[in-house]
Amino acid sequence: MQLTDQFGREIRYLRLSVTDRCNLRCFYCMPEEGIHFLPKDQLLSYEEMIRLCGIFTSMGVDKIRITGGEPFVRKDLIGFIGSLADNKQIKKLSLTTNGILTRPYLSQLKACRIQQINLSLDSLDAQNFHKITRRDEFDNVMSTFHQMLDEGFAIKINAVVMPGINDHEIVPLAELAMNYPVSVRFIEEMPFNGTGSVHAGIKWDHVRILAKLKSRFPDISPVPAAPNSTSQNYTFYKAMGDVGIIAAFSRTFCGTCDRIRITSTGEMRTCLYGHNVLDLKALLRQGERDEVIRDSIVRVVQKRARDGFEAEKLRGTNNPIGESMSVIGG
């Protein structure tokens, strides 16, 4: 079967958060203090995740991204990815990481069919990196970046654009794509920062980011992307890689969205901006059969919001966005 929502969008892509914990404190993602990490028994076990991924791949999902929190903070991540890789219905297995603990595992990741890695890197300046992430790990992350290049991974650099913080680094970050075969993706900042603070709007939306790139690379031109891609990609003269802009707050790509998420606590989300729609962990722990879980998934996918604006509205006024991206999975 192919899982499809009521608007005819096929669901093929699962983002799976394996932990809410992290070894950075990126200020756009979580506050510095006062975070309550969840006890282990509230997280899905690896066995539960493998079973859920099997259920989803039996419903047509063929692309899975492992995310978090920081995935490598969870013990024996490689063992888990190895088991997941045994599921041959997964055509594309990928990972998003901050690169701090990643380096020693790169060759094993290759052996687990991971070809592509998203590395979060919001600054090319050690001090600014520290200001954003509140940790002194810049050199470590850059070493990971270079080793990923040496090992031949397809690399996407994720950079959240923040006014007055790293907007002066848009061009230097884009120049990474000039000098290396990487895709540098600029992400609009979203309100998932774990503070509940109201996010009135953003200063750096996709239009302004593109204008900035055009001012430095006048020949910048769009590259065709897959219809369900979240990023609009561009190339420019002599670039070894490309740049992309992800209108994550403007939500320009919802019409073709093929993604669902499982949070670290085993809740399913059919839209990042929506609320949790199905407690998969509860179903597993009640001992439900795969068929029952599949039926429940079909039901919530049939009620999926048309786009992120509708999903946000459906949360209601008592449940404004404010949770950390580390819990949902980026």
Binding site for ligand SF4 (CB under 6 A): 22, 24-26, 29-30, 68-70, 98, 120, 325-326
177 binds, among ligand SF4, ligand SAM, none (CB under 5 to 8 A by kind): none
Q: Which residues pair with 63 in a beta bridge?
A: 13, 92
Q: Which amino acid is at 287?
A: G
Task: Output phi, psi for 95, to 5 deg.
Answer: -150, 140
Give 160 or 278: the residue with its C-beta nearer to ligand SAM: 160
The two three-digit tokens of residue 46, written as one number? 């690896």
Radius of gyration of the chain measured on its C-alpha atoms:
19
Tell me which DSSP letter residue 101 carries.
S
Least separation in angstroms between CB 102 and ligand SAM: 10
Closest among 176, 154, 173, 153 to 162, alpha carbons compared: 173
Contact call for residues 23 and 133 (beta carbons, < 8 A): no
Pure H helices in 155-238: 170-179, 206-216
Tell me which DSSP letter residue 10 carries.
B
264 binds ligand SAM (CB under 6 A): no
Give 4 or 263: the residue with its C-beta nearer to ligand SF4: 263
183 binds ligand SAM (CB under 6 A): no
Among 182, 187, 210, 284, binds ligand SAM (CB under 6 A): 187
248 binds, among ligand SF4, ligand SAM, none (CB under 5 to 8 A by kind): ligand SAM
134: left (phi over 0), alpha (psi -120 to 50) or beta: left
Q: Which residue is nearest to ligand SAM (CB)?
A: 330
81 binds ligand SAM (CB under 6 A): no
157 binds ligand SAM (CB under 6 A): no
Give 68 or 266: the residue with its C-beta nearer to ligand SF4: 68
Report how far residue 107's alpha carbon sits from residue 85's, in angstroms, rounded to the nearest whole number. 15
174 binds, among ligand SF4, ligand SAM, none (CB under 5 to 8 A by kind): none
Among 129, 145, 153, 192, binds ligand SAM (CB under 6 A): 192
- Strand 278-279 to 267-269 pairing: antiparallel
Least separation in angstroms between CB 41 and ligand SAM: 22
Residues that bind ligand SAM (CB under 6 A): 22, 28-29, 67-70, 96-98, 120, 158, 160, 187, 189-190, 192-193, 248, 325-326, 330
